[in-house]
Chain A
Amino acid sequence: MSAHVPGLPNASGAATSWDAVPGHVETREGHGEITIVVEAATLVQACEHLRDTLGFNFMSDITATDYLGWGRAGVSGYLGLPGGRNLNEPMTQGYQRLPEPKPKRFAMNYHLLALRRRDARRLRVQVWLDDGEPVPSVIGVWPTADWHEREAWDMMGIRIEGHPNLVRILMEDDWEGHPLRKDYPIGGEPVRFSNAE
């Protein structure tokens, strides 16, 4: 049985400096997971740096997240905190404290893995986007990004720039809207074949 994954760099052992990643904005750590935020414009260079220099050769997943209405429910209780108590929101009696505000509406999360037998590490690369703001495709860095990026477009309406085949993947080609957006109502999909031709 092979002792290591072939074709992979060995672990350096030294602490990694995330500042060297092109377009690096900030580094966060929480629940034992490292998140680095990078700028959208230089995402591809950042990813190439992560893959070639730091050994993140395996991409697990891409997740697009919509933060529209983040923290909207206000704070619960009667202590005169902002927003007060919103009793109109079903199932919601407010937060115990307001969540941290987010820089922009959408976040693209790239979950990476340095696949090697010793010192395998994970990393989340985060890019913040406004509605309609494009993000470059990383399909040239990790081919597995193909369907993940199509899903981000289909479900969240993230504009991926440079993807050779950016068409809907889960919904039909003529579907209207992007279902996982927060302003897309649940149960709001059109009923098909309901009108006589």
Chain B
Amino acid sequence: MTLAPERPLIYEGSRIPSRVPTILEVASELRESEDILEVNFGPNHPSTHGVLRLVIELHGERVVGLAAVIGYLHTGFEKNMEQKSWWKAITYPERIDYLAFQNNELVFVLAIEKLLDLEVPPKATWMRMLLCELNRIHSHLVWLGTSGLELGAISMFWYCFREREQILDLFELVTGYRMHTRYFQAGGLAEDIPRGFYPECRKFVERMPGAVDEYERLVDRNQIWLERTQGVGLLSVDDAIALGQSGPVLRASAVDWDLRRDQPYLAYDQVDFRVPVYRHGDVYDRYRVHMDEMRESTRIVEQCLDRLENMEGEPWIADDRKVVLPPREELHTSMESLIHHFKIVTEGYRVPEGEVYVPIESPRGELGCYVVSDGGPKPWRVKFRAPSFVALQATATCLRESLIADMIAIVGSLDTVMGEVDR
């Protein structure tokens, strides 16, 4: 399938900088040569995928010093969520990682459900899985499009955004919004799946594998693409694990690990999919993992559709009146329902005291949500383990001894979303 020449396997040992693992310091003998040029990259630059600032020290064309500066997009999501009732706080996580909104929403809702011990009807579980996989494809498409754009493959961007548009149309059809859908409720889904969604989604599923082939035809035999991605931004197995990397970055470094398969949530243990693993740990392998994952996600979406089409008329949300809003039409006839509705909307539901950590496989890796409840109507503490935040810690190791021209490719390949890094 590829014309990739034989590449040597990844380096052995560790390349993590010694004093501070995230800062590459200029060697003292180089420092004295006065031949070092300090360059400030970002925070406002189109290729930083947000507002990332890198302070780079160059010796000729080689990167010899590096420090990443973050925090430009800090919005205090976690503080804000402590002030909101549980069901209002669900709106926040989606905005943390604005490309993987369904996954972020899911992880918080799963944490609430774990604390509540709430059982979710199968229709909601399968629909959540379907939307999360569509969301994964969406996120990977944006990654592929923008990373291609940065490396000069401009047409990549238009092709990727063509399919992305279709996915956003599907989200709009289901939820009414193209992004930040807020479709998951504690207990299930906010609304039933609308008529007409399945055939539209089928059309997309039929189209997507061909589209991925098309992207591959654009770049996979392109000598410029291969030379700019192969053998750069190396990260070995041990370094990737020590630096806490997850998701595509980890799988491109030969670690066979995917939370969907190894610690399954939703109904991932009932679907058939393959976990792509590559063993060179470079930018090209990260690109390969993304491409394969889009294919696998399409297969999962198809399997979800097969299940969902046989679930017509089944409930889409749990029947727990202390947590779930009663059906609208009941409010006119039932006093009980009116009281429950009023309580949930004004005060919010209470979540039993406890603490949970829920990890899921977001498009960028392990997305964790640590939630503490004191038994009241608002969360006591919410913390997101943001995969992008952790991925950026690998910049110093990946960029070690690389050329300045490869920097864009390497930073892009870590697939970070700055909203999630800074929260």
Q: Which A residues lie at the B interface, using CB under 8 A?
A: 1-7, 30-31, 33, 35, 57-61, 63, 65-67, 70-71, 73, 91-93, 95-97, 99-100, 109, 111, 115, 117, 120, 122, 124, 139, 142-144, 146-147, 155, 164-165, 168-172, 179-180, 184, 186
Give the size of the chain B interface in residues (CB under 8 angstroms): 60
Q: Which residue of A lies closest to B68 (CB)?
A: A147
Contact indicator B80/A99 (Cβ below 8 Å): no
Contact indicator A146/B20 (Cβ below 8 Å): yes
Q: Mind listing 22 A-B residue pairs with CB under 8 Å?
A: A5-B237, A6-B255, A30-B356, A33-B357, A57-B241, A60-B359, A60-B385, A61-B385, A63-B370, A109-B357, A117-B262, A124-B357, A142-B242, A143-B393, A144-B243, A146-B20, A147-B390, A147-B392, A164-B20, A170-B423, A180-B78, A186-B79
**Nearest-Cβ distance from residue B171 to partner chain A, whole angstroms:** 29
**Nearest-Cβ distance from residue B219 to partner chain A, whole angstroms:** 24
Contact indicator B370/A165 (Cβ below 8 Å): no
B181 at the interface (CB under 8 A from A): no
Binds A, one of B97-105, B172-180, B226-234, B374-382: B374-382
Contact indicator A117/B256 (Cβ below 8 Å): yes
Of the candidates B237, B355, B368, the one whose C-beta lies within 8 Å of that of A60 is B368
Contact indicator A144/B356 (Cβ below 8 Å): no
Contact indicator A61/B83 (Cβ below 8 Å): no
Contact indicator B241/A2 (Cβ below 8 Å): no
A109 CA / B80 CA spacing, docked (Å): 21
Contact indicator B393/A97 (Cβ below 8 Å): no
A95 CA / B347 CA spacing, docked (Å): 12
Once A96-B375, A97-B375, A147-B22 are accepted as A-B contacts, the answer to whether A115 and B241 lie under 8 Å apart by CB is: yes
Give me 14 other A-B pairs in contact (C-beta within 8 A), A71-B374, A120-B263, A147-B392 excluded: A2-B277, A4-B256, A58-B244, A61-B385, A65-B372, A70-B374, A70-B380, A91-B85, A93-B347, A111-B368, A143-B242, A147-B390, A179-B76, A180-B79
A135 CA / B237 CA spacing, docked (Å): 30
A186 CA / B76 CA spacing, docked (Å): 10
Contact indicator B389/A147 (Cβ below 8 Å): yes
Of the candidates A66, A99, A120, A179, the one whose C-beta lies within 8 Å of that of B353 is A99
